[in-house]
A = this chain, B = another copy of it.
Amino acid sequence: MGKCEQCIIKQFNSLKALTTDELVRISSCKTSMTIKKGDVIFEEGETLNGVYCVKDGICKLSKLSANGKDQIVKMVVKGQLLGQRSLISDESSNLQAVALNDMEVCFIPKSEIIGDLQKNSKFSFEVLKEMAHDLKEADDVIVNMAQKSVRQRLAEALVYIHDSFGVNPDGTLSVLLSREDFANIVGTATESAIRVLSQFKKEGLISTIGKQIKIEDLDALKRIE
| A168 interfacial contact with B, CB 8 Å | no
Quick check: B71 and A129 within 8 Å, CB to CB? no
Known: A142-B141, A145-B145. A125 touches B88 (CB 8 A): yes
Quick check: A148 and B71 within 8 Å, CB to CB? no
| A225 interfacial contact with B, CB 8 Å | yes
Alpha-carbon distance A141/B144, docked complex (angstroms): 12
Quick check: B88 and A148 within 8 Å, CB to CB? no
Quick check: A147 and B69 within 8 Å, CB to CB? yes
| A209 interfacial contact with B, CB 8 Å | no
A73 CB to nearest B CB, Å: 5
| A121 interfacial contact with B, CB 8 Å | yes
Q: Which residue of chain B has its CB nearest to the CB of A184?
A: B146
Known: A121-B118, A121-B119, A128-B88. A145 touches B142 (CB 8 A): yes
Quick check: B128 and A71 within 8 Å, CB to CB? no
Alpha-carbon distance A140/B91, docked complex (angstroms): 15
| A67 interfacial contact with B, CB 8 Å | yes
Quick check: B139 and A94 within 8 Å, CB to CB? yes
Surface stretch bound by B, among A4-12, A27-35, A130-138, A195-203: A130-138
